[in-house]
Amino acid sequence: MKKILITLLVLFLSFNKSDLYAQSGFRFYLGYNAFFTSKKGLEDLNYIFKRYNENRPSLTKKLESVGNLSGAAFKMSLGTRGFIADLTYARGGQKQYAEGPNSNGDIQRKQVKTRYTNLEAAFGYAPQGINSPVVVGLSCDMISLNVYTRSGAPDNINKVQWAKPGNPASLGLGPFIRLTSPGKKGLSAEFYFRRDVAPQAGRRGLLNLNVSMNPQSWHTDTDDLGWIGHQAGIRIMFTFTTTK
């Protein structure tokens, strides 16, 4: 993921050498990415957590469901009159734990960390170039949903290394519309929808997670576990431009 981001960033910045953008510039955005996923998006991930709780009736603290993976977003845009190109990076996550006695009566803790990462490239129509108050376009993105786990005594668990048994991925396409306040600095609201076009990648990732967290029951669970990353969302961001 880091190598892809660096490569795209270098290619994106190289466009500034072209005379095509002589009267154009960059615009930067920093803010919050809030989204709503389809029912299939987090339902099966939470099913795995539910099965973990069911397989361990002695738990005094059960794993909670993942509900919201919204978080920070950064966007860089390059545009000229009539055209704009974006590169966006967004991430979010949740962390929870379960706790209870093991067969020897010692208290053990299971920590689970879910991290959402979105790398997106988009192209749009911008009548006034980089400072256009309205931009409409199409985006293509790659989302990874990395799930990390570790187990240990509560007072020693921070010394235990995280394992990553599940990393479902998603490739999506969808339209967006962005509204930006006039001027070099201001606020921007971007509304978007994306459809998952590679659901098999999410299915493989959750199967591995279920095998790791529920070794005694995964073989009796449905093989249809998956993460389908259909999303609708909004990004509220502070923005500024480098144009004069």
Name which CATH class applies to 29-241: mainly beta
pLDDT on residue 75: 97
Q: Give the DSSP letter of residue 229.
A: -
List the chain domain ranges: 29-241
Quick: pLDDT tens for 26-67: 999 999 999 888 766 788 889 999 999 999 999 999 999 988
Full DSSP string of 68-132: ---EEEEEEEEEETTEEEEEEEEEEEEEEEEEEE-TTS-EEEEEEEEEEEEEEEEEEE-TTGGG-
Low-confidence ranges of the chain (pLDDT < 70): 1-23, 39-40, 201-202, 222-224, 228, 243-244
Euclidean distance between CA atoms 155 and 107, whole angstroms: 10
Encoded tokens for 1: 């993921």
Please compute, for residue 150, the number of CA atoms within 13 A of its CA located in the half-sphere on the CB side: 13
Q: Do the beta carbons of residue 75 and residue 241 sit within 8 Å?
A: no
SS3 of 23, please? Answer: coil
Of the candidates 182, 175, 191, the one whose C-alpha atom is nearest the C-alpha of residue 239 is: 182
Of the candidates 106, 112, 105, the one whose C-alpha atom is nearest the C-alpha of residue 62 is: 112
pLDDT on residue 39: 65
Euclidean distance between CA atoms 9 and 196, whole angstroms: 24
